[in-house]
Structure 1
Amino acid sequence: MIHTTVGQLGHFFVILSFVTALVATVAYFLSALGRTSQVQAVAVEEPQLAYAGESSFGGKTTKRKAKATVETVEPPARDDWRTLARWAFYLHGAAVVGVVASLFYIVYNHYFEYHYAWSHSSRALPVQYMISCFWEGQEGSFLLWLFWNALLGAILIRTSGKQWEAPMMAVFALVQAFLASMILGVVFGDTFKLGSSPFLLLTEAMPDAPIFTADPNFVPQDGNGLNPLLQNYWMVIHPPTLFLGFALTLVPFAYCVAGLWRNQPYEWIRPALPWTLFGAMVLGIGIMMGGYWAYETLNFGGYWNWDPVENAVYVPWLVMVGALHTMLIAKRSSTGLKAAIILSISTFLLILYSTFLTRSGILGNASVHSFTDLGLSGQLLVYLLAFVVLAVLLATVKWKYIPSDEEEASVYTKEFWLFIGATILCLAAFQVIATTSIPVYNKILESFGKVSNLAMPTDAMAHFGKFQTWFFAAIALLTGLGQFMWWRKIENKKWDALITPGIITLLASAAIIAFGGIKNPVYMVLLVASVFALITNGTILLGIIRGNYRLSGGAIAHLGMALMLIGILYSSGYSRVISLNNSGLMISKGDDFTKNNNKENKENVLLWLNQPERMDKYQLTYRGQYIEVRGMPGYTARENVDVIEGDFHGVAQRDIEQNGKVYFKKGDTLALYPENVHYAVEYREPSGQIFTLYPRIQVNKRMGVVLSPDISHSMPRDVYTYIATAPDPSAETQWEKTETFSVAIKDTFFLNDYVAILDDVVRTNEVEGVEVGPGDAAVRAKVRVLDKNGEHILNPAFVIKNRMVAHPAELSDELGVRIQLNEIDPRTGKFTFAVNRTQRDYIVMKAFEKPLINILWIGTLIVVLGFAIATIRRYREFRKMRDKSVA
């Protein structure tokens, strides 16, 4: 059945959102013009300046000189343009919600006649992963961004005040118009397309497909499914958080543009500051969520790989934090004000640039994360350039209204050190974006007919690490020094307050270096800087909490950052491979024995099913394949479920229980999580404590075999394990040619290179899968198989039922053997066994120890707490000032 109505409704909402965004833009622009005409720029002497004044810099009084300032005259009470703009923006928000609801309805109800649903979802996905399907595609991610902007715009209309609403919301609405155009999906002629619609039918997206020639109403029974790497709970919350961070960068940008527009270059700082704090917090959380997702899901052994798409988000965050610090000094320094304007504008423009990088397809050969080009690269470039031109022109024209200092800030002032910190953050950002943009440079040169030999670094970790380590060592030192300056612990050119923290830092660092085995001089510098930041900010924090804890946000955030740096130093610099191959076996083979093959042979261990092996201090045992059943915690052995291939369901072969509770009875049909096979690896520590990890292999029809790790977390270290190689869990078992053995009791024979002994053959009344009645006869053989780790017992049966003979086979994955008792000869006393051999069940796995990585995650949470406290404090300040001005 073709469900076209919901798609048509969704497309109508897209058009409505675009049109209403344009109406809101024009109406807010005209409203802002009306208000701006009431703001007269009057050249005055310095004592009358709204911004300029006197401030103390190192004990000296500094006067700032400005060319002009502003005098505000309230506009008429009635503003019809603003009323129209408000209603247009509210209607725009409602239309965006309508688009979201329509698209999710299509995905949730499996309307696979729509290209978006067919491309990104399937019937097997649980609800939480259907939510992930919503933003897997480019159209969905743009829609998510639209939604957050619409929500923030509605909040700002109610909270920003009449002074700022019109100019600021004109910027907001214009951004929304551009974003809505990205999902408009309107085609002009044969070549020009405006946006890519998420409501295209398959017949529209693939009109030349042969299936639609034969059957125009064809609807697939199932979709392609979700990228297996995105089938993770972090992918349900990470993208919305990240895009909320993207949306929040627009708020200080809009306030800044509004301030310049109104010839009020200073006044925008106070209302923008809490939003900048909140935006830096949310964007930082989103980035770290992505890092944790990579740590849990990808198998490169870490949480940050300096992938271009990771860098494209990291850079705006660095600049946003730099902008935040310059805002804090803008009250006392025009240098800080100018920097705050530049960096607030740059943060949003860098978000647009990162969008262009990741969604234009330009990073297709340089990144594992980037989207392919949907034909929107030109539109994305126009989006970026439009706001670059708007912001640069406005800042250039209005620069004369920004006051300037007559004297340089003294090195003994907090403003100086905050500015130095912001500068280093920006230098760190520049180093990353300059390298990440190499594909852009090449594209530009190609467009002029030139051939570029520039290439991305072959070892991104080493390239970026050698620069960023020094930048963050400097930042760590400055956080400690800056906090002492901020709270006036250093005054009158005396640095005595730093003596005690400095001595403690050196003693603590020396102890850690001596007992922690740190030999790399660069790591020593980073450690000393991080310990210094920890001690100085901890000292400041103790003093603040005794007074007013509401002022502690900065110290807490800096303390958390120091912990993060220590966690990064140890987890990255001292990560240790513990899966060393000491068996002498050649695990990795190839036509040419490369350096990489040699490394893989050295750093992987081969485990046979249920055969213990020594690895570092652990005894390892591979315990078999497990699967994840919906509605039940943990995992169950794969042999407990007869999996229905292609249906993501199975039939319980026995009662399935977990922690003493029976979840499914034998014969029940149960739902399985799609494509996942987990491999149970039992770790036994020297103390005797046992823990089991379940690294995962997914067999996906689009991406083939996808490997994901499992991790044992503890405060000293994480044990990180993933499967490097294993037999294809979706492939049918290939049995070799049948061999027969006729042996008497106590005779010896060979099974798959093992010594086997027929110990006995006895009567039995129980045979699995066969009901043995009173008139039936059944015997069971006891075959003892010896290997280096002990012995295995196989019990093939022979059944006579209703004058028919059955030979139930006994299978052993550990031995790679299937054995049947085929004949019993009472005259000779011999028993004939049919034996088939196959590859024994095995895995090749790799394991790391990640020391102190949990210090990184704890530090992240502390940073978030610091940002939250600071955000609340600054918002209360703004609200108090706003209420006073209204009164």
Structure 2
Amino acid sequence: MIGYAAIFLALVTTGIAMFCYLNAHMASSTRRLAPRLSAGRDKGLFYYRLSALFIVFTALYLFYIILNNQFQFAYVFGYSSRDLSLVYKLSAFWAGQEGSFLLWALFHAGFGLLLARKKQPCAMAVYAGIQMMLLAILLAKSPFMMLLEPQMDGFGLNPLLKDPWMVVHPPVLFLGYAGLAVPFAYAMDGILTGRHKDWVSQALPWALFAWAALGAGIFLGGFWAYKVLGWGGYWGWDPVENSSLVPWLAAGALVHLLLLARVRLAAVRPASFAALFTFVLVMYGTFLTRSGMLSDFSTHSFSDEGVGGILASFVLITAASVLGILIIRWPRLPEGELYPAVKSREFFLAATAILFTAVGVIVLVGMSTPLVTMLLGNPQNVSTAFYNTTTLPLAAGLALLLAVGSLVSWGEDRTRLFARYWWIAGIGAIAMGLAAAGGIRQPVALVTAGLATAIVAASLAAVKNKKIGYGAGFTHIGLAITLIGILFSSLASQSVYVSLQQGESQEAFGSTFTYTGTRLDPEGQGFYQSFTLTGQANTVLEPYTKLNKEGRPAAHEPGIYRMPAADIYLAPAMHQEENPAKEVTLHKGEQKQEEALTIKFIRYGMGGSGVSGDVRVYALLEVTQDGNTEEARPELLSRNGQMIAAPLQVFGHYELSLTAVSMKDGTVTLGIRDLTAPPALPRVDVEISRKPLINLVWLGTIFITIGTIWSGVARRKLYRTEKETASLRPDAETRRLLT
């Protein structure tokens, strides 16, 4: 009851805070109510701080019961266990729906305390309303539900989640989700109060921070997928992956529109729309992934645990509310031209925002297809080819805008860009030739590779000439490097499939791979398959198979040999039996020899179900060895809809099993195994891949994150400087008296 009470008190105090801030906002419309405005703000701040305190207490209490193995709580039983290390007990906090919502609410409350320092009651009322939605979800789906019977140990973490990158990935992602609520609140404040310049300057650093955090979370998830899942890639256009990508793309459009709105007030209209619906897209993605709608289309999706209806209601209420407010207040928003000429920084910012939006719309349509087709009665999903085909031309267009736009000045730029920067075009052309030599053949991909290389050169020139800041330069170069890495690692990747017995070798990509056997994990949680790689270097790759509590394979981590130019990626597909049975198919009356046995198929028949309820199909056989004959009746049992072979032994050391019966053809298939034969050496099927320039993907994402945070810090400092400068200027009344 402690956890429930804390969540309930947090919800109540957040509601009181929202009411106080709303009252203060109403009082701000006239100076006569200034005392009421101040009192409302002070009360709102008090109750908001109190609600934040309750949320912090709730989080600490959940962490306490996880650390202390209190398995009477369903959440602790479902995601923790006694043998979990401390770091994975920490990740158990957000492993499930309830814990991840609590983590989101915790970050949201922390950002709200920073937002409250601005003393803007309208923004805080909106922000508190979002917090109430999160707390209502937590109250409906609480991490403090009790089991009917206390348990001695828990189920534990999914083996896939027992990875250091998954300790970091979800919190960083939720930092981005929570951060996008701040521009949402600022935009609502600006729309309702008319302080357009203020909200644009205030929201820009937050938008950059949220963009960086959400992007870093996506990048970490991609690296985890590449390192752990063993399917050879880092992005599969999975609907759950896309549910984070769409808000990131929308945030990219928002950042560029906010930059434009600082110069052209007419951009406040599209910036307001972007700020509001970027967060709506966060909520929509949350609904898709946590309502069970995508459970048949994504391995990452949560099952339906009773929150789908609540999430759908909140998405609809929020979207309808912000759309209604936009329609009502639209005529009062600033009007004018967005850009003075095509050859201007303003035009390129607007065009970049449009392309981010276009890619986001395509991905949104793709990830929403299962939901739409489900409502129409025929659930379907789009293929990865849909995304690859539609987004690649837009990526080329975005690269062109970034390459040229970085060099264009504010206002109508009359400089002869090509005459001054012709060498950048030359670098791009050379890069296209190198990309073709490196294995890329698609024309659009070649153009994209050339333009991405041009971005690097153009960004360096723009930073040197002080046309863009260091943060923007880092971000643009990072995006270019990432694009090049994606193109090469996907379009120029090569794979071969081999089957290796222990001690056997296989040539691939200029190296020799030798399978040397299997060794157990010292902790007993899995096993390693060892491969010696010789040729380019002498090293050992050891793909790792994690086992679940029942001892069955649950996750397969590949072996990766990293080189500057490419990764060698080794993913075992199957570990074959050491002493497999040999199969033989017989018609009625036919006889064959196998494993020193002569087997004749006499007839087949069916036995009664008996007390056990099993239906038995048998094959009557005559088995002869060295002149001695035995009769054998191996059986197939039908139990609970499954066919189970019941093997038997003949001549003491041969095992016969009936594996299939074809009534149509009149044949039976038998498995024959000599139990005294020495076991064959283990054999494993392996996919060996060479992924060129894949390290550019990780390097580029690091550059993007650093550059975006750098820009956010710079914008924050600039906003403070502008505010201090403005405070030193005389207001209109003082200027009138002085003149």
Place the TM-score, normalised by the shorter chain, in its bin: 0.7 to 0.9
State the 1:683 CA deviation: 0.9
Structure 1, 328-337 or 273-282: larger mean CA deviation: 328-337
Residue 468 of structure 1 corresponds to 391
Residue 455 of structure 1 corresponds to 380
**Equivalent residue runs for 1:4-23 within 5 Å:** 8-23=1-16
Matched residue of 1:266: which SS? helix
In structure 2, C-alpha distance between the alignment counterparts of 1:157 and 1:356, rounded to whole Å: 28
- 1:231–1:863 CA distance, 2 compared to 1 (3 A): same
> RMSD of the alignment, in Å?
2.5
- Indicate if the aligned counterparts of 1:490 and 1:496 stay in contact, CA closer than 8 A: no
* One-letter amino acid matched to 2:690: E
**Equivalent residue runs for 1:113-132 within 5 Å:** 113-132=72-91
**Equivalent residue runs for 1:4-83 within 5 Å:** 8-38=1-31, 75-76=34-35, 79-83=38-42
In structure 2, C-alpha distance between the alignment counterparts of 1:516 and 1:734, rounded to whole Å: 44
Residue 143 of structure 2 corresponds to 198
State the 1:391 CA deviation: 1.2
Residue 43 of structure 1 corresponds to none
Pick aligned residue for 1:241 from 172, 185, 204: 172
- TM-score, L = length of structure 2: 0.82
Residue 392 of structure 1 corresponds to 323
Residue 190 of structure 1 corresponds to none
Pick aligned residue for 1:708 from 545, 557, 563: 557
The yes-or-no answer on 1:429 pairing with 2:360 is yes
Pick aligned residue for 1:523 from 413, 420, 445: 445
- Indicate if the aligned counterparts of 2:247 and 2:278 stay in contact, CA closer than 8 A: yes
In structure 2, C-alpha distance between the alignment counterparts of 1:721 and 1:575, rounded to whole Å: 13
Partner deviation per Cα, 1:238-278 (whole Å, 9 max, x = no partner): 00000000001101111000111112233210011111111
Residue 869 of structure 1 corresponds to 710
Matched residue of 1:332: which SS? coil
Matched residue of 2:465: which SS? helix
In structure 2, C-alpha distance between the alignment counterparts of 1:114 and 1:243, rounded to whole Å: 24
In structure 2, C-alpha distance between the alignment counterparts of 1:701 and 1:839, rounded to whole Å: 28
Pick aligned residue for 2:482 from 564, 575, 578: 564
State the 1:500 CA deviation: 2.8
Residue 360 of structure 1 corresponds to 291
Residue 321 of structure 1 corresponds to 252
State the 1:389 CA deviation: 2.1
Matched residue of 2:276: which SS? helix
Pick aligned residue for 1:180 from 119, 123, 135: 135
Structure 1: which 5+ runs fail to align? 1-7, 39-72, 185-194, 204-217, 446-450, 581-602, 630-671, 737-751, 754-833
- Indicate if the aligned counterparts of 1:552 and 1:866 stay in contact, CA closer than 8 A: yes
In structure 1, C-alpha distance between the alignment counterparts of 2:443 and 2:337, rounded to whole Å: 42
- Indicate if the aligned counterparts of 1:412 and 1:493 stay in contact, CA closer than 8 A: no
Residue 622 of structure 1 corresponds to 515
* One-letter amino acid matched to 1:456: N
**Equivalent residue runs for 1:388-787 within 5 Å:** 388-405=319-336, 409-445=340-376, 451-452=377-378, 455-457=380-382, 459-460=383-384, 462-486=385-409, 490-491=413-414, 495-510=418-433, 512-513=434-435, 515-544=437-466, 551-577=469-495, 580=496, 603=497, 605-629=498-522, 672=523, 675-686=525-536, 689-701=537-549, 705-726=554-575
Partner deviation per Cα, 1:155-205 (whole Å, 9 max, x = no partner): 2223xx23x2x1111111111111011111xxxxxxxxxx111111111xx
* One-letter amino acid matched to 1:242: L
- 1:257–1:196 CA distance, 2 compared to 1 (3 A): same
State the 1:288 CA deviation: 0.3
- Indicate if the aligned counterparts of 2:197 and 2:265 stay in contact, CA closer than 8 A: no
Residue 782 of structure 1 corresponds to none
- Indicate if the aligned counterparts of 2:169 and 2:220 stay in contact, CA closer than 8 A: yes
Partner deviation per Cα, 1:356-407 (whole Å, 9 max, x = no partner): 1000111111111110111111110111122112211222222222121169
- Indicate if the aligned counterparts of 1:334 and 1:402 stay in contact, CA closer than 8 A: no
In structure 1, C-alpha distance between the alignment counterparts of 2:508 and 2:235, rounded to whole Å: 27
- Indicate if the aligned counterparts of 2:191 and 2:333 stay in contact, CA closer than 8 A: no
- 1:489–1:693 CA distance, 2 compared to 1 (3 A): farther
In structure 1, C-alpha distance between the alignment counterparts of 2:545 and 2:82, rounded to whole Å: 20
Residue 261 of structure 1 corresponds to 192
In structure 2, C-alpha distance between the alignment counterparts of 1:572 and 1:260, rounded to whole Å: 44
State the 1:693 CA deviation: 1.6
State the 1:513 CA deviation: 3.7
- Indicate if the aligned counterparts of 1:696 and 1:723 stay in contact, CA closer than 8 A: no
Partner deviation per Cα, 1:304-360 (whole Å, 9 max, x = no partner): 000001111101101111111011111333442211111111110000000010001
State the 1:493 CA deviation: 7.0
* One-letter amino acid matched to 1:231: K
Residue 58 of structure 2 corresponds to 99
- Indicate if the aligned counterparts of 2:541 and 2:560 stay in contact, CA closer than 8 A: yes
Partner deviation per Cα, 1:637-692 (whole Å, 9 max, x = no partner): xxxxxxxxxxxxxxxxxxxxxxxxxxxxxxxxxxx2x6322222221125xx3111
In structure 1, C-alpha distance between the alignment counterparts of 2:39 and 2:539, rounded to whole Å: 68
* One-letter amino acid matched to 1:712: Y
Partner deviation per Cα, 1:481-517 (whole Å, 9 max, x = no partner): 111114789525765334232233223433x145324
- 1:683–1:372 CA distance, 2 compared to 1 (3 A): same
In structure 1, C-alpha distance between the alignment counterparts of 2:521 and 2:486, rounded to whole Å: 33
Partner deviation per Cα, 1:413-437 (whole Å, 9 max, x = no partner): 2111110111011001001101211
In structure 2, C-alpha distance between the alignment counterparts of 1:77 and 1:340, rounded to whole Å: 32
Pick aligned residue for 1:136 from 92, 95, 116: 95
Structure 1, 526-535 or 306-315: larger mean CA deviation: 526-535
In structure 1, C-alpha distance between the alignment counterparts of 2:86 and 2:571, rounded to whole Å: 27
In structure 2, C-alpha distance between the alignment counterparts of 1:75 and 1:471, rounded to whole Å: 52
State the 1:303 CA deviation: 0.4
Matched residue of 2:234: which SS? coil
In structure 2, C-alpha distance between the alignment counterparts of 1:78 and 1:326, rounded to whole Å: 32
- Indicate if the aligned counterparts of 2:23 and 2:37 stay in contact, CA closer than 8 A: no
Matched residue of 1:681: which SS? strand
Residue 850 of structure 1 corresponds to 691
* One-letter amino acid matched to 1:675: Q
- Indicate if the aligned counterparts of 1:723 and 1:845 stay in contact, CA closer than 8 A: yes
- Indicate if the aligned counterparts of 1:315 and 1:350 stay in contact, CA closer than 8 A: yes
State the 1:531 CA deviation: 1.6
Structure 1, 485-494 or 225-234: larger mean CA deviation: 485-494
- 1:263–1:506 CA distance, 2 compared to 1 (3 A): same
* One-letter amino acid matched to 1:477: L
In structure 2, C-alpha distance between the alignment counterparts of 1:427 and 1:527, rounded to whole Å: 20
**Equivalent residue runs for 1:266-281 within 5 Å:** 266-281=197-212
Matched residue of 2:352: which SS? helix
Residue 599 of structure 1 corresponds to none
Larger radius of gyration: 1
In structure 1, C-alpha distance between the alignment counterparts of 2:500 and 2:426, rounded to whole Å: 51
Matched residue of 1:336: which SS? helix
Residue 125 of structure 2 corresponds to 170
Partner deviation per Cα, 1:551-601 (whole Å, 9 max, x = no partner): 221122111111110000001111111xx3xxxxxxxxxxxxxxxxxxxxx
Q: How many residues align?
A: 636
In structure 1, C-alpha distance between the alignment counterparts of 2:49 and 2:697, rounded to whole Å: 41
In structure 2, C-alpha distance between the alignment counterparts of 1:882 and 1:398, rounded to whole Å: 27
In structure 1, C-alpha distance between the alignment counterparts of 2:371 and 2:340, rounded to whole Å: 38
In structure 2, C-alpha distance between the alignment counterparts of 1:402 and 1:541, rounded to whole Å: 34
In structure 2, C-alpha distance between the alignment counterparts of 1:359 and 1:103, rounded to whole Å: 21
State the 1:628 CA deviation: 4.4
State the 1:519 CA deviation: 2.3
Residue 250 of structure 1 corresponds to 181
